[in-house]
């Protein structure tokens, strides 16, 4: 029986075009690097390189360690300089990152859905791909009127050792929340990253409002629909939840 819902954040609870988000985000982040005396273009390339290192993480180290190690290596940063850059990025994510909110499609469904599930006794996990620090996740949650404390677990780069779609990411979550796959439903907008939870026995629901399917995966076999449709099914009791299995 499903008693726990896992939600992706970007493109799922937080609805926007990924391309528009990345363009606006990197435009703002570049200013941070420039203020620190770094070549902005090279630093953005290093961010992508560090991101790839996190995606390839094998569970032996935290994603944060993988990212900063690769970022610093690419830019030949001293330990002191790396610490300055990391602190500046945390400050950016806590404050200036709010400017990126402009790309978001306003919706009150996300907050209402999380609150409704909680009121019905379901556990709720924020299963966002753990490539950002906790402060960046908290800022993005604030855009939809939620806080990290609303969730049993919020994944971020300092508490995770895998990324989606590695099955280790989902196993790590199950271990932390003490659940079996059959008790959980994963909802997300990416058929590769999010629906891969189904391979472990999770129920899944593909949220199609801001669908990300760069690989052109056939999505016809997935339970799918808008976030509003998920809300209707998930808040009508166990009879509707049966429709979400598989």
Give pLDDT, residue 239.
45
For residue 160, the tally of other CB atoms under 10 A from its CB is 26
Segments in the chain below pLDDT 50 = 238-239, 242, 245-246
Kindly compute the dihedral angle of the four CA atoms of residues 62, 179, 109, 197, in this order, to the nearest 10 degrees. 70
Give pLDDT, residue 246.
45
Give pLDDT, residue 106.
86
Measured distance CA(130)–CA(127) in Å, rounded: 8
- CA 41-46-50 angle, to 5 degrees, is 155
- CA 21-23-27 angle, to 5 degrees, is 115
Domain ranges of the chain: 4-16+104-244, 19-101
| Whole-structure pTM value | 0.94
Q: Which residue has the tokens 């610093």?
A: 72
Q: Which ranges constitute the DSSP H helices of 12-78? A: 18-35, 40-55, 63-75
Which CATH number applies to 4-16+104-244: 3.40.50.1000, 1.20.120.640, 2.40.110.10, 3.30.950.10?
A: 3.40.50.1000
Which among 94, 86, 97 has a CA at the least distance from the CA of 27? 97
Give pLDDT, residue 240.
52
- Specify whether the CB–CB gap between 137 and 9 falls below 8 A: yes
For residue 208, the tally of other CB atoms under 10 A from its CB is 16
Q: pLDDT by residue (tens digit) across 48-78?
A: 999 999 999 999 999 999 999 999 999 999 9
């Amino acid at each position: 029986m499903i008693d726990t819902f896992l939600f992706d954040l970007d493109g799922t609870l937080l609805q926007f075009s990924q391309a528009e988000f990345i363009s606006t985000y990197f435009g703002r982040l570049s200013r941070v690097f420039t203020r620190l005396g770094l070549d902005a273009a090279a630093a953005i390339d290093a961010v992508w390189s560090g991101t790839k290192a996190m995606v390839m993480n094998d569970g032996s180290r935290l994603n944060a360690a993988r990212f900063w190690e690769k970022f610093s290596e690419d830019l030949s940063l001293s330990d002191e300089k790396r610490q300055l850059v990391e602190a500046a990025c945390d400050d950016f994510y806590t404050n200036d990152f709010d400017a990126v909110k402009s790309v978001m499609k306003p919706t009150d469904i996300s907050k209402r859905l999380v609150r409704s599930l909680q009121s019905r006794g379901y556990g709720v996990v924020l299963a966002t791909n753990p490539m950002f620090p906790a402060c960046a996740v908290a800022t993005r949650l604030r855009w939809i009127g939620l806080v990290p404390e609303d969730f049993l677990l919020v994944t971020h780069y300092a508490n995770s050792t895998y990324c989606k779609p590695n099955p280790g990411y989902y196993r790590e979550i199950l271990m932390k929340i003490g659940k079996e796959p059959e008790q959980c439903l994963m909802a997300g907008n990416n058929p590769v990253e999010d629906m891969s939870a189904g391979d472990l026995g999770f129920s899944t629901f593909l949220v199609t409002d801001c669908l990300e399917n760069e690989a052109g995966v056939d999505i016809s076999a997935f339970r799918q629909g808008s976030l509003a449709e998920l809300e209707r099914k998930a808040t009508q009791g166990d009879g509707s939840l049966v429709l979400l299995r598989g």
